[in-house]
Amino acid sequence: MEEGYPSRRQYQKKRQQGKRILKKLAIHTVMAFFICGVLLMGVLAFAAVAYVRDAPQLNPELLNSPQSSTIYDMNSKKVTDIAGEEYRKVVPLDQIPKKVQNAFLSVEDARFWNHPGIDVKRVAGAAVANVKEGFGAEGGSTITQQLVKMSFLSSEKTIERKVQEAYLALKVENKYTKKEILEKYLNKVYLGEKTYGVATAAEVYFGKSVEDLNISEAALLAGLPQRPSGYNPYNHPDLAENRRNIVLSLMEEHGYISEKEKKEAQSIPVEKLLKKRENKTFYNSFTDRVIEELKEKGIDEKELFTQGLKIYTTLDPKAQSITEKVLKTNEYIEFPDDQFKAGVVLLDTKTGEVRAIGGSRHSEEVQRGFNYATQLKRQPGSTAKPVMAYGPAIEKLKWSTYEQIKDEPIELNGKVFKNWNNRFHGNVSMRKAMQWSYNIPAIKAMMEVGTEEAKQFAGKLGIPLKEVFPSYAIGGFGDGISPLQLAGAYSAFGNNGVFNEPHTVRKIVYPSGKEKSLQPKPVQAMSDYTAYMITDMLKTVVEEGTGQMAHIPGLPLAGKTGTNELPDTIRGSGVTDAWFAGYTTRYTAAVWTGYDEITQESYVRTKDSHNAKLIFKHIMSEVSKGIETPDFTMPPSVEKVTIGNRVELFVKGTAPKRKQLNIDKPKKVEDKEENKQQEVEETEKKQDEVQEEEKEPEQEKEKVPNPNEEKQENETPDTNKPENPGGEKPAQDNQQPGEDNNQQNDDQQDTGNNDKGNPGNNPPGNKDTPPAGDTGGTDGSGEKKEEPATQSPPPRKDDG
């Protein structure tokens, strides 16, 4: 054999040694897995024992009837139960028809009569059934487990809850008969519309006794427990009908009905089965939002209506009552007609806690109906300017309130932008542009800072936007926003730049005593200098600009108006929407007014476009009575500079430098004023040059509109209006030229949303919405339109 190669004997010996090594390795591996398995089983067993030890006691009283959840106000005082006694009718099992029992058993627990409380086969087969029969055809929990969960446990999808659920289900099966368990379940199960049990649901949905239900009605009810809201036949008849048909198919599969009975029952439209929906009201606008918010936070709806939760909210009953009174009566404002809609949200400026919601003007609105304060989506008009234009410019570029912007015609991608008064004013300060709601400076400000910066700034204030065009600077949003979102954004300006997500719930407490906090964490959305400088300019809007009608004597207040222009197809003077958003150091409110659909007969006339400001004024006045409201405090990051007769604000370190003087000898006391004048000589010279450029053409120097003379009949003249901050008179360059009385308000824009509360698609000839993909937008041109001869002249035309 050649040198270097092993002999056959040596080769076989090495091979045998390799096999022995592999065998040992395999044995060690198996032993390791076995030991790990034992340890894992031990850990799981230990955890299971711990979970079982912590399981709630089997309280018979909790099994017998559903527990209403209770809503508490901001002072932890009970406001109302989510469900009333009339929604809890209980009947014995022998009064519930077999077809009703079988409908629920078919879809919820087909082997109910055979398992001991846990159906292992059902758990494994649930996934297959959902694929075969359609999503939701079968769940993994037995009826006994569902009864336990409804009575004792939360709906959290955790191992702890599942272990406790299985343990308690076995105990329930050991203590009660199958018939007793089924009876308790059918009287306790939540079926939507705030109803518990089949007997109550039969009356609510069909207006009949449970004994009189037909197969189709029984199947409809049996399909509801999985998603009471999603399959609600009033709100989603198509989904409810599909779900009912799945239940009927399962009833046939399990031999409870024939194929003929199934087809006959499936042929009946759901709408024909239902009776007219009843109205139940109690702070509906607020409680509806509470329910929606809890669902958004992952709280199951069935849990809300059956497990006796204590829900501690942010509701201020006094503020809520005031809000509803202002909206639903003519005591404060005489609304034009019953179709005129309004939505209001009142927040705590410092915390974002919602104090009141005015979701409708009508007391007879159906509960869980459309909420104009939280569900509405409309273009915000000029209320967007602080969020989309001037706020980002101050934050990123550190512009001062005196930043000069040239107001001139601009054209972007073939779209010509104009101001609401069809005039241009040359170089204007950012303060003046905000005061009189000029469009061009806002567009230029956003273009200067960049659309991405504007998008990020708005996102930090709770207004997420997929894309941003120049039109967004003046409120020409693609999808619109709600008063709830706008109030949340504005509250950050009044809170030193700290944003708190608007919320109605502080915490919930389970029957076991477990608490769950739902208060969002504060976010520093902008610098304190940005918040204060925006606030200072918005105070000018209310005291001297387009928002004077919302001014409240003696109350430090900042705010902004906003309107959207009528489409060309509408003849008359008015707008599609009118907004006002404002705040004090204590409260923030956003108000929207308008119509569901914009037609020749239903649009906001000019004389009614001020109702948003009046709604704000009355609510803010009432809630501020008897409490001290301090003024906004200027942070160290801001400094004041007097320019002419106006105090302007600069970010610390960016103010114009004063001329340095060489002092040769001490000056006399009487020369101090002369020295001061010399120090600012250079700055004043520049300011005079800018002011000279800002002077309006001679033909525009008309008398400034007197807001007191133009107020509506129900608006008391403001005779106690305080002087401007610092006791200064308005600078000449901050006086608004007189305008034609037929000019429309603000930078009026079109809205183009199709949801309820929104106008339809943009009509032909609309001047305000850019073509798809266009970077242009709402020009806010206020072209003169013919007003019906019977309409009184507009009380003001300087709305922003």
**pLDDT given for residue 306 in this prediction:** 73
Percent of the chain with pLDDT over 90: 53
User: Is residue 9 very low, low, confident or very high in pLDDT (cuts 50, 70, 90)?
Assistant: low
Residue 557: name the closest of 537, 531, 573 by CA: 537
Average pLDDT over residues 59-70: 72
Q: Up-side HSE of residue 184: CA atoms within 13 Å toward CB?
A: 25
Decide if 46 contacts 71 (C-beta within 8 A): no
**Which pLDDT tens digit goes with each residue over 496-540?**
999 999 999 999 998 878 899 999 999 999 999 999 999 999 999
**pLDDT given for residue 24 in this prediction:** 65
- 135-140 contact pairs (CB < 8 A, 24+): 136/226, 136/227, 136/243, 136/246, 137/107, 137/246, 137/250, 138/107, 138/110, 138/250, 139/108, 139/226
**pLDDT given for residue 121 in this prediction:** 77
Query: Taking 60 as the threshold, does the pLDDT of residue 669 lie above it?
Result: no
Query: Taking 70 as the threshold, does the pLDDT of residue 747 lie above it?
Result: no
Query: Looking at 151, 249, 382, 429, which residue is catalytic?
Result: 382
**pLDDT given for residue 766 in this prediction:** 29
628 is catalytic: no
Average pLDDT over residues 574-588: 97
Lowest mean pLDDT among 387-391, 590-594, 614-618, 691-695: 691-695
User: Is residue 595 very low, low, confident or very high in pLDDT (cuts 50, 70, 90)?
Assistant: very high
User: Is residue 18 very low, low, confident or very high in pLDDT (cuts 50, 70, 90)?
Assistant: low
Helical packing angle, 317-328 and 611-624, nearest 10° = 150
Element (H, E) at 159: helix 159-175
User: Is residue 436 very low, low, confident or very high in pLDDT (cuts 50, 70, 90)?
Assistant: very high
Residue 510 burial by CB count (10 A; 0-12/13-18/19+): exposed, middle or buried?
middle
Per-residue exposure over 77-110, b if at least 16 CB sit within 10 Å of its own CB, e if not: eebebbbeeebbbbbeeeebbebbbbbbbbbbbb
Decide if 593 contacts 615 (C-beta within 8 A): yes
Query: In terms of pLDDT, which residue wins out, 533 or 28?
Result: 533
Q: What angle do CA 367, 370, 372 make, to 5 degrees?
A: 120
Average pLDDT over residues 587-608: 96
Q: What angle do CA 615, 616, 622 make, to 5 degrees?
A: 95
**pLDDT given for residue 11 in this prediction:** 59
563: helix, coil or strand? strand
Query: Looking at 68, 108, 360, 527, which residue is catalytic?
Result: 108
Average pLDDT over residues 75-82: 88
**pLDDT given for residue 132 in this prediction:** 57
Query: Taking 60 as the threshold, does the pLDDT of residue 366 lie above it?
Result: no
Tokens linked to 6: 């092993």
**pLDDT given for residue 162 in this prediction:** 74
**Which pLDDT tens digit goes with each residue over 416-426?**
888 877 899 99
Residue 489: name the closest of 465, 522, 458 by CA: 458
CA distance 448 to 428: 16
Decide if 782 contacts 745 (C-beta within 8 A): yes
**pLDDT given for residue 238 in this prediction:** 95
**pLDDT given for residue 14 in this prediction:** 63
Query: Taking 70 as the threshold, does the pLDDT of residue 4 lie above it?
Result: no
**pLDDT given for residue 689 in this prediction:** 47
For residue 618, how far is the Cα from the chain centroid? 23
DSSP letters spanning 566-616? PPTT--SSEEEEEEEEEE-SSEEEEEEEE-SS--SSSSEEGGGTTHHHHHH
**Which pLDDT tens digit goes with each residue over 625-644?**
999 999 999 999 999 999 99
Write phi, then psi, for 474 (nearest 5 degrees): -115, 25
CA torsion, ordered 407, 409, 412, 416, to nearest 10 deg: 130
CA distance 612 to 637: 34
User: Is residue 438 very low, low, confident or very high in pLDDT (cuts 50, 70, 90)?
Assistant: very high
108 is catalytic: yes
Average pLDDT over residues 455-483: 95
Query: Taking 50 as the threshold, does the pLDDT of residue 724 lie above it?
Result: no
Tokens linked to 273: 């089965």
Query: In terms of pLDDT, which residue wins out, 681 or 275?
Result: 275
Decide if 408 contacts 694 (C-beta within 8 A): no
Average pLDDT over residues 560-576: 93
Decide if 639 contacts 654 (C-beta within 8 A): no
**Which pLDDT tens digit goes with each residue over 256-315?**
999 999 999 999 999 999 998 765 556 889 998 999 999 899 887 777 877 788 999 999
Query: Taking 80 as the threshold, does the pLDDT of residue 136 lie above it?
Result: no
Lowest mean pLDDT among 16-30, 155-169, 627-641, 663-677: 663-677
Q: Which residues contact 327 (CB under 8 A, 6 or more apart)?
A: 342, 344, 358, 360, 361, 615
| Terminal C-alpha separation, the chain | 105
Predicted model pTM:
0.66
**pLDDT given for residue 658 in this prediction:** 59
Tokens linked to 615: 């709604």
The amino acid at 607: K
User: Is residue 753 very low, low, confident or very high in pLDDT (cuts 50, 70, 90)?
Assistant: very low
Distances, alpha carbon 434 to alpha carbons 41, 546, 578, in Å: 69, 9, 17
